Amino acid sequence: MSYEHELQVLDPATEEVVATVPAASREDVRAAVARAAKAQAEWAALAPGDRARLLRRFAAAVDGHVEELARLEVREAGHTLGNARWEAGNVRDLLDYAAGGVERLTGRQIPVPGGIDVTFLEPLGVVGVIAPWNFPMPIAAWGTAPALAAGNAVLLKPAETTPLTALRLAGLALEAGLPEHLFQVLPGEGPVAGDALVEHPGVAKIVFTGSTAVGRQVLAKGSAHLKRVTLELGGKSPNIVFADADLAAAATSAPMSFLDNAGQDCCARTRILVQRSVYDDFLALLAPAVESVRVGDPADESTDMGPLISAAQRERVRSYVDPDAEGIRGKAPEGPGFWFPPTVLTGVEPHARVAVEEVFGPVAVVLPFEDEAEAVRLADDTPYGLSGSIWTRDVGRALRVSRAVRAGNLSVNSHSSVRYWTPFGGFKQSGIGRELGPDALTAFTETKNVFISTVSTEGPAQ
């Protein structure tokens, strides 16, 4: 790279410098696109079985370095060690899953008169993946694994604050035997390396995960070349608790539905909607569950929640919380590190900033509702529609509310949002397109239709 500028990677738990990494310039991106285009042509020409075999080797290489990758994630992102291990394992599993789709990426034969008609799923070419800092490893893999499996080359731009795991994954890809330049990592700043990827005519598609505001910019800048995009953006997800629910289960599970990764999760259930008749009972169960969350050193196996990613993020979260507001508060360490305590606010108006905007920190609000209709109205009363939970023992209600709420990923009596074998994505301003699941590879292909005439040219048509 050009070495014109360096990125400092800080440990969010200590504020110490972990590493410095050269930042890619616009010229670096242009050169990377040219290299990737050449590598992609050769990759797409390989037999599907050979591509699948190499991706399985990549998965095996990741599996052999799960602990190393997890420790890197702890240092650069402040994730708890248990979460980081899961994330590294998710990369491995997604690579294996994508490899299984390579030889099943088939077209169709469509009946037509006078010949046969077949379709082919052709790779797009060079794909740009712009990954966020909140889940650097798995979200990078969400775009990278299926794109490679479908025959594309990938240029991955990690977030400025979390490039280390991405760089290590690129090294493991080479060790596993993937062709040079097929999967390149370009650490850099969004307005430089990110914009260069989005604006380059040789990049066929951009996969972006981040804020809705930046997602709009990606969509606008890519439109000059009619660039395909998949956008996974913000969320303000509801956690709807009906009076007939198992209140103990709903209350004890609620804290980690918005405190996981210190609340820096697009799927965080930060709007807890509780039926009024059980509102007080629910809060009585919720308080000890929130107060018992252990916040501290993310490398400690017993820690439940680590720090925020940066001082700027901590100040942003702080701006949403009135220190005198009613609610429930946990504890966080003092001293170095970007700490913020678990916070649940009550007595908040439904249209307050903290109730409708994405805070992206360990802060939730609790709002009462009267009936099913009001629960759905409150759940949908944000610009977002990414995820959500519904707690009830009534199967009919669970299905009605699941269909009524405008969100892409809903869970009943659970807070699960993401599995690599099921589709993931949002409604409204939470994004465009879907990632993961059985159709993940086709999102990185173009359908080509070919008609072959069977009409004889030696005599009358039959």
The matching CATH number, chosen from 3.40.309.10, 3.40.50.150, 1.20.120.140, 3.40.50.300, for 238-412 is 3.40.309.10
pLDDT over 90, % of the chain:
97
**Distance between CA atoms of residues 382 and 30, nearest Å:** 39
Per-residue confidence (pLDDT) for residue 460, from 0 to 100: 56
Strands 228-232, 343-345: parallel, antiparallel or unpaired by DSSP?
Answer: unpaired
Please tell me which residue in 160, 232, 358, 435 is annotated as part of the active site.
232
3-state DSSP of 134-198: CCHHHHHHHHHHHHHHCCCEEEEECCCCCCHHHHHHHHHHHHCCCCCCCEEECCCCHHHHHHHHH
Per-residue confidence (pLDDT) for residue 456, from 0 to 100: 84
Per-residue confidence (pLDDT) for residue 288, from 0 to 100: 98
Per-residue confidence (pLDDT) for residue 1, from 0 to 100: 66
Q: At how many degrees (to 10) do helices 66-77 and 81-102 cross?
A: 120
Q: How far is CA 220 from CA 188, 199, 213, in A?
A: 21, 10, 11
Collect the ranges in the chain with pLDDT lower than 70. Answer: 1-4, 459-462
Domain boundaries in the chain?
A: 6-233+430-450, 238-412
Per-residue confidence (pLDDT) for residue 4, from 0 to 100: 66
User: Tell me, what amino acid is at 459?
Assistant: G
Q: Does domain 6-233+430-450 have CATH number 1.10.3470.10?
A: no
Residues 16, 19, 20, 21, Cα dihedral to 10° = -140
Question: Is 232 part of the annotated catalytic residue set?
Answer: yes
How many CB atoms within 10 Å of residue 397?
17
pTM above 0.85, yes or no: yes
